[in-house]
Amino acid sequence: MRSTDPTTLWDTIRLGLSKQLPEASFKEWIAPCEPLKVKDGVLWIQVPSAAAKLWIEQQLPEEFNDALAQGGLADLRLEFRISGALPVEPKSSPKKSPSPTPGAEPAAISFPYLFNRYTLDRFVVGPGSQLAFAAAKAVVDNYGKAATPLSMNPLFIYGGAGLGKTHLMVGIGKGLLERDPRLRVVYLKVDNFFNELTVAIRAKNTEPMRKKYQQNDVLLLDDVQTLGKMERTQEEIFHILEHLLQHGRQIVITSDKPPQRLEGCHERLITRFKWGLTADIQPPDFETRIAILRKKLEDVDFHHVPPIPEDVLTFIAHKAKGSVRDLEGFLTRVIFQASLIGVAPSLEVAHAAFQGQSGEEPTAPVHPDRIYRMTAETFNVSFVDLMKKRSRQQAILVPRQVAMYLAREIASSPFTDIGRSFNMHHSTVMNAVDSVRDRMKRDPEFHRLVQALLNSIH
């Protein structure tokens, strides 16, 4: 029987979070929190400030969900109350799972309510995520219709951490439930499945667990890249996938690698992963990062925030290139730092937030020469040829255009200065920059190459 003592429950969650978060993040955001009470399946937690509540709810939903699942508390709700604020009960109870089909047991893992902002209409689409988003939308729109020549079952989405894979996956689940609330949709993270399976093995009874997942209409399987060393887990997941696929149930899978690069996975499992459509997500380009920031500021949690100047958004978008999570986290940190010192968000505050987080000088320039050398290295051409060789060959022309684009994008170099470096007229540079931008919109592979180079330089 689960404890009803708030301190005991919070200690369990804290332990799980301490294993996932960097020590500094744990001390900054989790350590100051205190449990208040347990009522109607809700653990109330006091946080020191509105900024802390915002950070936890916006930046740590997946970590909290993992800590709850691993602590055997998957059905426990969390509500965060700001210290000194009047007690407020939840406005509405969590959305109940659809009624199970006759004869079926209810799923033990509910849809993670901490992921309430993960919906398809809140996903900002950029050149690096067009295919993945279109596939996610198609899964929702075409569910239950006659089979088409293009199979999207399973839909396998892969990409780096924090790029929106879980957002799309959960968005699919929510979209399907909106269309048909009777569907049994289950979200399952591989590490949490492993922990659940370990308990079942100790009890020498894994069959009920397997059947529990096989009875669902939609399985959302998150982070399969961790399967490599889990022999028994692979076996169980294979049987679950096989059953669901044979009965036409929808499967969505996420990973940080494509199926063929999943080390340690059995070939028969990889084959099932590759049966449907595989789509990747790449880091967002600058324009998409700006759009993501503006979309984020539309959240109800940000309605109390003073207007964010355009130069602050631009600075954040230039500095946080690695992932959507980094981007949103930097925005939240700027807002937090501004509220902490009692001023409106400004470029000065953003510079201080960046330096405090990274230890780097916020305005430290990237010299164009470094951009040109790294571009030459990436395209495997000599630096001298890139800068001086007169050639219309694509092997020289394309890297040179990319170098000009990056000098403009990263270093904000004037067209005349870039032209002087290559001994060309500034109008040629302008045309080169436009050419690269146009090709990035048309050619996903080229977009990925340029974006990866941009991220590695800055």
Per-block mean pLDDT, blocks of 10 residues, the chain (458 long): 83 91 87 90 88 82 86 85 65 44 42 79 88 93 72 88 90 91 89 85 84 90 86 88 90 92 88 90 85 88 82 83 84 85 86 71 69 85 85 85 90 88 91 92 83 70
d(CA 75, CA 73) in angstroms, rounded, equals: 6
Domain tally for the chain? 4
d(CA 196, CA 256) in angstroms, rounded, equals: 23
Residues 254 and 139 in one domain: yes
pLDDT value for 97 = 41
What CATH number does residue 445 fall under?
1.10.1750.10
Residues 297 and 271 in one domain: no
What CATH number does residue 31 fall under?
3.30.300.180
* 228 domain residue, yes or no: yes
pLDDT value for 453 = 77
Cα 392 to the chain's mean position, in Å?
40
Name residue 439's amino acid: R
pLDDT value for 108 = 38
Residue whose C-alpha is closest to residue 58's, from 285, 291, 300, 294:
300
Residues 171 and 230 in one domain: yes
- Exposure on the CB side of residue 46, measured as CA atoms within 13 A: 13
- Exposure on the CB side of residue 33, measured as CA atoms within 13 A: 31
pLDDT value for 285 = 80
* 106 domain residue, yes or no: no
Length reported for the chain: 458
Residue 154: cis peptide before it, omega within 30 degrees of 0? yes
Contact 160, 328 (CB under 8 A): no
- Exposure on the CB side of residue 457, measured as CA atoms within 13 A: 29
Residues 421 and 348 in one domain: no
pLDDT value for 103 = 41
Give Cβ neighbours of residue 43 (< 8 Å, ≥ 6 apart). 6, 9, 10, 13, 35, 37, 76, 77, 78, 79
Residues 396 and 313 in one domain: no
* 298 domain residue, yes or no: yes
pLDDT value for 109 = 41
pLDDT value for 146 = 64
DSSP string, 358-426: H-S-TTPPPPHHHHHHHHHHHTT--HHHHHH-----HHHHHHHHHHHHHHHHHS---HHHHHHHHT--H
* 192 domain residue, yes or no: yes
Residues 140 and 203 in one domain: yes
pLDDT value for 104 = 43
SS3 content of the chain, % helix, strand, coil (to 5): 55, 10, 35
SS3 35: strand
Residues 270 and 121 in one domain: yes
Residues 436 and 313 in one domain: no
Residues 166 and 256 in one domain: yes
21 to 16, 18, 79, 319: CA distances (angstroms): 9, 6, 20, 22
Domain hosting residue 51, numbered range: 6-82
> DSSP strand E in 225-381: where?
250-255, 277-281
Residues 220 and 341 in one domain: no
Residues 397 and 452 in one domain: yes
d(CA 46, CA 74) in angstroms, rounded, equals: 20
* 404 domain residue, yes or no: yes
**DSSP 8-state symbol, 146:** P
**DSSP 8-state symbol, 163:** S
Residues 78 and 153 in one domain: no
Q: Are strands 250-255 and 218-222 parallel, antiparallel or unpaired?
A: parallel
pLDDT value for 140 = 92
* 103 domain residue, yes or no: no
